Each structure stands twice: as structure tokens, then as C-alpha cells.
Amino acid sequence: MKHLYTWSAIAVIVLASTAGDVLLSRAMKQIGDVGELRRRSGLLSVVGSILRHPSFLLGVLAMTVAFYSLLFGLSWGDVSLVAPASASLTFVASAIAAKFFLHERVDHRRWLAAVLVAAGVLLLAA
């Protein structure tokens, strides 16, 4: 039963942090290159437009859910399982989500990078 709780927490962490990453990425792509924007209209105006962007706010909300699920997950399972499993699954889930929701061109090189990093993170924590 504890096992089920731990893996449910990991699933929620992966889903929430992937949703958060996708939403934040979408917000920043819609806002545009912040370096250029800052030169044109100043830092405060850039920060203001980021903080008012609905996708940014939703993304932060999703990240908050992911953070608290991590806290719950850590209280149910071992840190050596929960942290690396959720981090490495998030790399792969983000690549899939970025392809379908952000229409990024995820070529062989990027798939390979996502899988290598995911495997590497697992090994680091092993």
C-alpha cells in the first residue's frame, strides 16, 4: 500500500512538473526574447508582462503542486527512489509533451539527449 502511495506521488510529480515546464515555456515563447524586450521597453515592463501572463501563472501553480507532491512523496518513500525517479521520468515526459503541446521539433538528437540524461540521473542517484 505504501508502495502504491509512493508511485502515485511520483506520477503526480512527473505530470505536474511536465505541465509546469510546458506552460512556462509556452508563456515565455509568447512573450518573446526577454533580452530584446528589455532593451526596447525596460526590465520592469518585461517582468510585469511575465507576471501577468496566464500561462505563466498556471505554470507556477503546476510547479507548486509538483513541489508539494515531492514533499508528500518524500514522506512516504525513500529519497533515493522518489527524487531520481521523478527527475528522470520528467525529462522523458517533457520531451513527449513539448512535441505534442509546443510543437517543438524533437529530432533523434533530442530524443537521445532526453533518454541519456534520464538514464544518467537514475545512475547518479543509484
Partner 1 sequence: MTVRKYLVLAGVTIFAAMGDSLLAYGMRQVGSLSWHHLPEVILAVFNPWVALGVLLLLGFFASYMTALSWADLTYVLPATSLGYVLLALIARFWLHEDVTSSRWLGILLISAGVGFVTQGPALTHHPPASVSEECLPAIASTRAEP
Helices 79-101 and 54-76: crossing angle in degrees, nearest 10, is 150
Closest CB to partner 1 among residues 3, 36: 36
The least CB distance from residue 50 to partner 1, in Å, is 7
By the criterion CB under 8 A, which residues form the site for partner 1? Answer: 21-22, 24-26, 28-35, 50, 91, 94-95, 98-99, 102-107, 109-110, 112-117, 119-126
Q: For cell 505530470, what's the residue?
A: 15
Which lies closer to partner 1 via its Cβ, residue 3 or residue 44? 44
CB of 7 to partner 1, least distance (A): 22
The residue (of 3 and 100) whose beta carbon lies closer to partner 1 is 100
Crossing angle (nearest 10°) for helices 2-31 and 79-101: 40
Q: How many CB atoms lie within 10 A of CB 41?
A: 12
Q: In whole angstroms, what is the distance from residue 81 CA to residue 122 CA?
A: 9
